[in-house]
Protein backbone atom coordinates (compact mmCIF):
# COMPACT_ATOMS: atom_id res chain seq x y z
CA UNK A 1 0.00 0.00 0.00
CA UNK A 2 1.17 3.50 -0.67
CA UNK A 3 1.48 6.04 2.10
CA UNK A 4 -1.70 7.97 2.83
CA UNK A 5 -0.02 11.25 1.93
CA UNK A 6 -3.19 13.24 1.62
CA UNK A 7 -4.45 12.37 5.08
CA UNK A 8 -3.48 15.78 6.37
CA UNK A 9 -6.07 17.33 4.09
CA UNK A 10 -8.66 16.23 6.61
CA UNK A 11 -7.91 18.95 9.10
CA UNK A 12 -9.32 22.04 7.42
CA UNK A 13 -12.53 20.43 6.18
CA UNK A 14 -15.75 21.86 7.46
CA UNK A 15 -18.21 19.97 9.57
CA UNK A 16 -21.92 20.04 9.28
CA UNK A 17 -24.05 19.04 12.20
CA UNK A 18 -27.57 18.29 11.10
CA UNK A 19 -29.29 19.57 14.16
CA UNK A 20 -31.16 22.86 14.37
CA UNK A 21 -28.18 24.89 15.48
CA UNK A 22 -29.35 28.47 15.59
CA UNK A 23 -32.21 29.89 17.59
CA UNK A 24 -35.07 27.41 17.61
CA UNK A 25 -37.61 30.19 17.60
CA UNK A 26 -36.82 30.70 13.91
CA UNK A 27 -37.53 27.01 13.12
CA UNK A 28 -40.87 25.76 11.79
CA UNK A 29 -43.34 24.75 14.55
CA UNK A 30 -43.05 20.97 13.90
CA UNK A 31 -39.25 21.09 14.26
CA UNK A 32 -39.58 23.14 17.44
CA UNK A 33 -42.07 20.63 18.82
CA UNK A 34 -40.00 17.54 18.11
CA UNK A 35 -36.87 19.21 19.51
CA UNK A 36 -38.87 20.19 22.62
CA UNK A 37 -40.00 16.58 22.99
CA UNK A 38 -36.41 15.35 22.62
CA UNK A 39 -35.16 17.82 25.23
CA UNK A 40 -37.82 16.66 27.71
CA UNK A 41 -36.80 13.04 27.12
CA UNK A 42 -33.14 13.85 27.71
CA UNK A 43 -33.98 15.77 30.88
CA UNK A 44 -35.72 12.73 32.33
CA UNK A 45 -32.56 10.69 31.78
CA UNK A 46 -30.25 13.05 33.66
CA UNK A 47 -28.83 11.96 37.00
CA UNK A 48 -30.27 13.38 40.24
CA UNK A 49 -29.46 16.90 41.45
CA UNK A 50 -27.23 15.56 44.22
CA UNK A 51 -25.14 13.51 41.76
CA UNK A 52 -24.69 16.55 39.48
CA UNK A 53 -23.89 18.92 42.36
CA UNK A 54 -21.30 16.43 43.65
CA UNK A 55 -19.78 16.18 40.15
CA UNK A 56 -19.52 19.98 39.92
CA UNK A 57 -17.88 20.11 43.38
CA UNK A 58 -15.38 17.43 42.39
CA UNK A 59 -14.54 19.51 39.31
CA UNK A 60 -13.99 22.61 41.52
CA UNK A 61 -11.79 20.51 43.81
CA UNK A 62 -9.58 19.57 40.84
CA UNK A 63 -9.56 23.07 39.33
CA UNK A 64 -9.16 25.25 42.42
CA UNK A 65 -8.73 23.09 45.54
CA UNK A 66 -7.94 26.12 47.76
CA UNK A 67 -11.48 27.40 47.13
CA UNK A 68 -13.43 24.17 47.44
CA UNK A 69 -15.55 25.69 50.27
CA UNK A 70 -15.92 29.14 48.70
CA UNK A 71 -18.67 28.17 46.26
CA UNK A 72 -22.09 26.69 46.85
CA UNK A 73 -23.78 24.88 43.98
CA UNK A 74 -27.45 24.13 43.39
CA UNK A 75 -29.46 22.57 40.58
CA UNK A 76 -32.52 24.65 39.65
CA UNK A 77 -35.55 23.66 37.58
CA UNK A 78 -35.48 24.70 33.95
CA UNK A 79 -38.65 26.77 34.38
CA UNK A 80 -36.54 29.49 36.00
CA UNK A 81 -34.80 30.04 32.65
CA UNK A 82 -36.26 31.35 29.41
CA UNK A 83 -35.91 28.33 27.13
CA UNK A 84 -32.69 26.33 27.02
CA UNK A 85 -31.33 26.36 30.55
CA UNK A 86 -29.29 28.98 32.40
CA UNK A 87 -27.06 29.70 35.37
CA UNK A 88 -27.41 32.29 38.11
CA UNK A 89 -24.55 33.74 40.16
CA UNK A 90 -25.21 35.50 43.48
CA UNK A 91 -23.72 36.09 46.92
CA UNK A 92 -24.13 33.76 49.84
CA UNK A 93 -25.54 35.92 52.65
CA UNK A 94 -25.56 35.43 56.40
CA UNK A 95 -23.44 33.73 59.00
CA UNK A 96 -24.51 30.18 58.23
CA UNK A 97 -22.45 30.01 55.07
CA UNK A 98 -19.71 27.49 56.10
CA UNK A 99 -17.21 29.65 54.26
CA UNK A 100 -19.25 29.77 51.04
CA UNK A 101 -19.19 33.22 49.46
CA UNK A 102 -20.67 32.70 46.01
CA UNK A 103 -23.76 30.71 45.10
CA UNK A 104 -23.96 29.28 41.58
CA UNK A 105 -27.23 27.74 40.52
CA UNK A 106 -27.73 26.04 37.18
CA UNK A 107 -30.08 23.69 35.37
CA UNK A 108 -27.37 21.00 35.06
CA UNK A 109 -23.85 20.49 36.37
CA UNK A 110 -22.62 21.80 32.98
CA UNK A 111 -24.54 25.04 33.61
CA UNK A 112 -23.12 25.27 37.16
CA UNK A 113 -19.57 24.66 35.88
CA UNK A 114 -19.91 27.23 33.11
CA UNK A 115 -21.31 29.65 35.74
CA UNK A 116 -18.21 28.99 37.85
CA UNK A 117 -16.03 29.72 34.81
CA UNK A 118 -18.04 32.89 34.12
CA UNK A 119 -17.48 34.10 37.70
CA UNK A 120 -13.75 33.28 37.67
CA UNK A 121 -13.36 35.03 34.33
CA UNK A 122 -15.43 38.21 34.80
CA UNK A 123 -15.04 38.77 38.56
CA UNK A 124 -11.54 37.38 39.14
CA UNK A 125 -9.79 37.94 35.80
CA UNK A 126 -8.92 34.24 35.48
CA UNK A 127 -8.29 32.41 32.20
CA UNK A 128 -9.33 28.81 31.50
CA UNK A 129 -8.65 27.31 28.09
CA UNK A 130 -6.85 24.50 26.28
CA UNK A 131 -3.18 24.22 27.20
CA UNK A 132 -2.15 25.52 23.77
CA UNK A 133 -4.19 28.70 24.23
CA UNK A 134 -2.98 29.56 27.72
CA UNK A 135 -4.25 26.68 29.84
CA UNK A 136 -5.54 27.36 33.34
CA UNK A 137 -4.41 30.69 34.86
CA UNK A 138 -5.96 31.26 38.28
CA UNK A 139 -3.31 33.35 40.06
CA UNK A 140 -5.58 36.43 39.99
CA UNK A 141 -8.35 34.73 42.01
CA UNK A 142 -8.45 36.38 45.49
CA UNK A 143 -7.91 34.08 48.50
CA UNK A 144 -10.91 32.44 50.18
CA UNK A 145 -12.81 35.00 52.26
CA UNK A 146 -12.00 37.85 49.84
CA UNK A 147 -13.92 36.86 46.70
CA UNK A 148 -15.57 39.75 44.87
CA UNK A 149 -19.25 40.23 45.69
CA UNK A 150 -21.87 40.13 42.97
CA UNK A 151 -24.11 43.20 42.85
CA UNK A 152 -27.73 43.05 44.01
CA UNK A 153 -29.79 40.10 42.87
CA UNK A 154 -26.89 38.58 41.01
CA UNK A 155 -26.45 37.69 37.36
CA UNK A 156 -28.41 35.27 35.24
CA UNK A 157 -26.99 33.99 31.94
CA UNK A 158 -29.29 32.18 29.52
CA UNK A 159 -28.08 29.41 27.23
CA UNK A 160 -28.87 30.70 23.71
CA UNK A 161 -29.01 27.24 22.06
CA UNK A 162 -30.06 23.90 23.53
CA UNK A 163 -26.88 22.08 22.48
CA UNK A 164 -23.22 22.94 22.42
CA UNK A 165 -21.53 20.17 20.47
CA UNK A 166 -17.87 19.28 20.73
CA UNK A 167 -15.37 17.04 18.93
CA UNK A 168 -14.85 15.55 15.59
CA UNK A 169 -14.29 11.99 14.46
CA UNK A 170 -10.77 12.84 13.28
CA UNK A 171 -9.70 14.30 16.66
CA UNK A 172 -9.40 10.69 17.81
CA UNK A 173 -5.93 10.93 16.25
CA UNK A 174 -4.83 12.75 19.42
CA UNK A 175 -7.22 11.20 21.94
CA UNK A 176 -6.02 7.72 21.24
CA UNK A 177 -2.89 8.47 23.29
CA UNK A 178 -4.79 9.81 26.30
CA UNK A 179 -5.19 8.15 29.69
CA UNK A 180 -8.07 8.70 32.10
CA UNK A 181 -6.48 11.72 33.84
CA UNK A 182 -6.12 13.50 30.51
CA UNK A 183 -9.69 12.67 29.57
CA UNK A 184 -11.00 13.86 32.92
CA UNK A 185 -9.22 17.17 32.38
CA UNK A 186 -10.78 17.55 28.94
CA UNK A 187 -14.29 16.71 30.15
CA UNK A 188 -13.87 19.22 33.01
CA UNK A 189 -12.81 21.77 30.38
CA UNK A 190 -15.93 20.93 28.34
CA UNK A 191 -18.20 21.54 31.35
CA UNK A 192 -16.46 24.84 32.16
CA UNK A 193 -17.08 25.95 28.55
CA UNK A 194 -20.74 24.90 28.61
CA UNK A 195 -20.43 21.92 26.27
CA UNK A 196 -23.31 19.51 26.77
CA UNK A 197 -23.25 17.31 23.64
CA UNK A 198 -19.79 15.71 23.32
CA UNK A 199 -18.78 12.96 20.94
CA UNK A 200 -17.78 9.77 22.83
CA UNK A 201 -16.03 7.56 20.30
CA UNK A 202 -13.50 5.75 22.48
CA UNK A 203 -13.52 1.96 22.76
CA UNK A 204 -15.96 1.25 19.93
CA UNK A 205 -13.74 -1.41 18.30
CA UNK A 206 -14.25 -3.69 21.34
CA UNK A 207 -18.01 -3.52 20.72
CA UNK A 208 -17.70 -3.98 16.95
CA UNK A 209 -15.57 -7.06 17.58
CA UNK A 210 -18.38 -8.60 19.67
CA UNK A 211 -21.02 -7.63 17.12
CA UNK A 212 -19.07 -9.04 14.17
CA UNK A 213 -18.34 -12.23 16.10
CA UNK A 214 -22.12 -12.76 16.12
CA UNK A 215 -21.89 -12.73 12.31
CA UNK A 216 -19.10 -15.34 12.33
CA UNK A 217 -16.37 -12.82 11.55
CA UNK A 218 -13.14 -14.12 13.11
CA UNK A 219 -10.50 -12.08 14.92
CA UNK A 220 -8.18 -12.66 11.94
CA UNK A 221 -10.74 -11.18 9.57
CA UNK A 222 -10.95 -8.12 11.80
CA UNK A 223 -7.18 -7.66 11.66
CA UNK A 224 -7.66 -6.48 8.08
CA UNK A 225 -10.56 -4.26 9.08
CA UNK A 226 -9.72 -2.19 12.16
CA UNK A 227 -7.05 0.45 11.67
CA UNK A 228 -4.16 0.79 14.10
CA UNK A 229 -4.48 3.24 17.03
CA UNK A 230 -3.11 6.18 15.02
CA UNK A 231 -5.52 5.56 12.12
CA UNK A 232 -8.78 4.74 13.91
CA UNK A 233 -10.53 7.87 12.69
CA UNK A 234 -10.15 6.84 9.05
CA UNK A 235 -10.96 3.20 9.69
CA UNK A 236 -14.12 4.24 11.58
CA UNK A 237 -15.22 6.48 8.75
CA UNK A 238 -14.65 3.68 6.27
CA UNK A 239 -11.86 5.56 4.48
CA UNK A 240 -9.46 2.66 4.86
CA UNK A 241 -9.38 -0.86 6.22
CA UNK A 242 -6.62 -2.42 8.32
CA UNK A 243 -4.06 0.36 7.94
CA UNK A 244 -1.55 0.31 10.85
CA UNK A 245 -3.41 -2.55 12.59
CA UNK A 246 -4.10 -5.03 14.01
CA UNK A 247 -5.38 -4.05 17.47
CA UNK A 248 -4.49 -6.29 20.41
CA UNK A 249 -7.18 -7.60 22.75
CA UNK A 250 -5.39 -5.87 25.62
CA UNK A 251 -5.71 -2.53 23.82
CA UNK A 252 -9.38 -3.12 23.06
CA UNK A 253 -10.11 -3.94 26.71
CA UNK A 254 -8.24 -0.92 27.99
CA UNK A 255 -10.07 1.43 25.58
CA UNK A 256 -13.45 0.00 26.54
CA UNK A 257 -12.69 0.56 30.23
CA UNK A 258 -11.64 4.12 29.43
CA UNK A 259 -14.87 4.73 27.53
CA UNK A 260 -16.90 3.61 30.56
CA UNK A 261 -15.06 6.17 32.71
CA UNK A 262 -15.53 8.86 30.06
CA UNK A 263 -19.26 8.19 29.77
CA UNK A 264 -19.84 8.15 33.54
CA UNK A 265 -18.09 11.49 33.93
CA UNK A 266 -20.00 13.08 31.03
CA UNK A 267 -23.32 11.77 32.33
CA UNK A 268 -22.77 12.82 35.98
CA UNK A 269 -22.14 16.36 34.72
CA UNK A 270 -25.50 16.30 32.93
CA UNK A 271 -24.05 16.02 29.40
CA UNK A 272 -25.56 13.93 26.60
CA UNK A 273 -22.72 11.87 25.11
CA UNK A 274 -22.96 11.04 21.40
CA UNK A 275 -22.13 7.39 20.73
CA UNK A 276 -21.04 5.78 17.48
CA UNK A 277 -23.64 3.96 15.45
CA UNK A 278 -23.48 1.51 12.58
CA UNK A 279 -22.92 3.27 9.29
CA UNK A 280 -22.96 0.23 7.05
CA UNK A 281 -19.19 -0.19 6.92
CA UNK A 282 -18.39 -3.93 7.14
CA UNK A 283 -15.28 -6.18 6.97
CA UNK A 284 -14.44 -7.51 3.51
CA UNK A 285 -15.17 -11.08 4.63
CA UNK A 286 -18.90 -10.20 4.74
CA UNK A 287 -18.97 -10.78 0.98
CA UNK A 288 -17.90 -14.40 1.52
CA UNK A 289 -20.08 -15.00 4.59
CA UNK A 290 -23.20 -13.46 3.09
CA UNK A 291 -22.91 -13.85 -0.68
CA UNK A 292 -26.48 -12.76 -1.32
CA UNK A 293 -26.19 -9.53 0.67
CA UNK A 294 -25.98 -6.29 -1.24
CA UNK A 295 -22.55 -4.87 -0.41
CA UNK A 296 -21.05 -2.02 -2.37
CA UNK A 297 -17.37 -1.35 -2.72
CA UNK A 298 -16.97 2.39 -3.02
CA UNK A 299 -14.20 4.13 -4.94
CA UNK A 300 -10.73 4.46 -3.46
CA UNK A 301 -10.47 7.11 -0.82
CA UNK A 302 -7.69 9.49 -1.71
CA UNK A 303 -4.55 7.44 -2.31
CA UNK A 304 -5.25 4.59 0.08
CA UNK A 305 -6.09 1.21 -1.35
CA UNK A 306 -8.71 -1.27 -0.45
CA UNK A 307 -11.93 -0.65 1.39
CA UNK A 308 -15.49 -1.80 1.57
CA UNK A 309 -18.13 0.35 3.08
CA UNK A 310 -21.55 1.68 2.62
CA UNK A 311 -21.76 5.22 3.88
CA UNK A 312 -20.05 8.24 2.73
CA UNK A 313 -17.71 10.06 4.98
CA UNK A 314 -15.44 11.83 2.53
CA UNK A 315 -16.75 9.42 -0.04
CA UNK A 316 -19.45 9.90 -2.60
CA UNK A 317 -22.39 7.52 -2.56
CA UNK A 318 -22.40 4.97 -5.42
CA UNK A 319 -25.46 6.67 -6.86
CA UNK A 320 -27.24 9.98 -6.47
CA UNK A 321 -30.67 8.34 -6.68
CA UNK A 322 -32.62 9.89 -3.78
CA UNK A 323 -34.52 6.62 -3.39
CA UNK A 324 -31.31 4.69 -2.67
CA UNK A 325 -30.12 7.30 -0.17
CA UNK A 326 -33.52 7.39 1.50
CA UNK A 327 -33.70 3.56 1.79
CA UNK A 328 -30.22 3.49 3.25
CA UNK A 329 -31.17 6.15 5.80
CA UNK A 330 -34.33 4.26 6.75
CA UNK A 331 -32.34 1.03 7.26
CA UNK A 332 -29.78 2.73 9.51
CA UNK A 333 -32.52 4.39 11.55
CA UNK A 334 -34.49 1.16 11.90
CA UNK A 335 -31.42 -0.67 13.20
CA UNK A 336 -30.75 2.11 15.72
CA UNK A 337 -34.34 2.10 16.99
CA UNK A 338 -34.20 -1.65 17.41
CA UNK A 339 -31.33 -1.27 19.88
CA UNK A 340 -32.83 1.75 21.66
CA UNK A 341 -36.35 2.95 20.95
CA UNK A 342 -35.39 6.46 22.09
CA UNK A 343 -32.31 6.60 19.87
CA UNK A 344 -31.70 9.91 18.12
CA UNK A 345 -29.63 9.99 14.95
CA UNK A 346 -27.10 12.80 14.95
CA UNK A 347 -25.27 13.19 11.68
CA UNK A 348 -21.83 14.73 11.39
CA UNK A 349 -20.65 14.78 7.84
CA UNK A 350 -17.91 16.13 5.62
CA UNK A 351 -20.19 16.59 2.72
CA UNK A 352 -18.20 19.51 1.39
CA UNK A 353 -15.54 16.98 0.40
CA UNK A 354 -17.15 16.28 -2.95
CA UNK A 355 -18.62 19.62 -3.92
CA UNK A 356 -19.80 18.44 -7.31
CA UNK A 357 -21.68 15.43 -5.98
CA UNK A 358 -23.48 17.37 -3.28
CA UNK A 359 -23.82 20.50 -5.39
CA UNK A 360 -22.44 22.71 -2.62
Check residue 95 for interaction with ligand NAG (CB under 6 A).
no
Q: How far is the CB of 157 from ligand NAG (least distance, A)?
A: 16
Check residue 70 for interaction with ligand NAG (CB under 6 A).
no
What's the angle, vertex CA 84, arms to CA 82 and CA 86, rounded to 5? 70
Helix axes of 109-122 and 49-63: crossing angle, nearest 10 degrees: 30
Among the listed residues 22, 26, 93, 95, the single contact to ligand NAG using CB under 6 A: 93
How far, in Å, CA of 212 to CA of 56, rounded? Answer: 39
Check residue 291 for interaction with ligand NAG (CB under 6 A).
no
How far, in Å, CA of 131 to CA of 129, rounded? Answer: 6
How far, in Å, CA of 39 to CA of 37, rounded? Answer: 5
Q: How many residues bind ligand NAG (CB under 6 A)?
A: 8
Query: Which residues make Cβ contacts (< 8 Å) with residue 186, sequence separation at least 6?
Result: 178
Taking the least distance from each CB to ligand NAG, the nearer of 26 and 93 is 93
Q: How far is the CB of 56 from ligand NAG (least distance, A)?
A: 17
344 exposure class (CB count in 10 Å sphere: 0-12, 13-18, 19+): middle
Check residue 108 for interaction with ligand NAG (CB under 6 A).
no
Check residue 98 for interaction with ligand NAG (CB under 6 A).
no
How far, in Å, CA of 271 to CA of 192, rounded? Answer: 12
Check residue 103 for interaction with ligand NAG (CB under 6 A).
yes
Q: How far is the CB of 150 from ligand NAG (least distance, A)?
A: 9
CB distance 134 to 109 below 8 Å: no
Q: How far is the CB of 103 from ligand NAG (least distance, A)?
A: 5
Q: How far is the CB of 72 from ligand NAG (least distance, A)?
A: 9
Among the listed residues 96, 153, 293, 355, the single contact to ligand NAG using CB under 6 A: 153
Q: Which of 241, 240, 238 is nearest to 312 (CA)?
A: 238
What would the x/- binding string for ligand NAG be over residues 210 to 229, using CB under 6 A? -----xx-------------
Check residue 152 for interaction with ligand NAG (CB under 6 A).
yes
Check residue 151 for interaction with ligand NAG (CB under 6 A).
no
What would the x/- binding string for ligand NAG be over residues 7 to 46, using CB under 6 A? ----------------------------------------
Check residue 287 for interaction with ligand NAG (CB under 6 A).
no
How far, in Å, CA of 257 to CA of 148, rounded? Answer: 42
Binding to ligand NAG, residues 72-91 (CB under 6 A): 90-91
352-358 contacts at long range (C-beta below 8 A, 24 or more positions apart): 352/13, 352/14, 352/16, 353/13, 353/314, 353/315, 354/314, 354/315, 354/316, 357/316, 357/317, 357/320
Q: How far is the CB of 334 from ligand NAG (least distance, A)?
A: 18
Taking the least distance from each CB to ligand NAG, the nearer of 118 and 358 is 118
CB distance 256 to 239 below 8 Å: no
Q: How far is the CB of 240 from ligand NAG (least distance, A)?
A: 26
How far, in Å, CA of 41 to CA of 34, rounded? Answer: 11
Q: How far is the CB of 91 from ligand NAG (least distance, A)?
A: 5
CB distance 197 to 163 below 8 Å: yes
Residues that bind ligand NAG (CB under 6 A): 90-91, 93, 103, 152-153, 215-216
Amino acid sequence: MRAPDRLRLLAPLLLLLLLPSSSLSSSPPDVRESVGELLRRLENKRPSSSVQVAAAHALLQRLLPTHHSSFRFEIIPKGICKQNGCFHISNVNGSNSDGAEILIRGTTAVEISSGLHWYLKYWCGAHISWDKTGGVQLASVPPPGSLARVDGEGVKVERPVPWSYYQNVVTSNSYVWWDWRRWEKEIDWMALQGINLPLAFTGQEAIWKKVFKGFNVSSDDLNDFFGGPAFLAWARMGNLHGWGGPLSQNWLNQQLLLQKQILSHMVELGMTPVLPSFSGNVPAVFRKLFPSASITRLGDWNTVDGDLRDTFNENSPPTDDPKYISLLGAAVYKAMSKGDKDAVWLMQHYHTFDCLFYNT
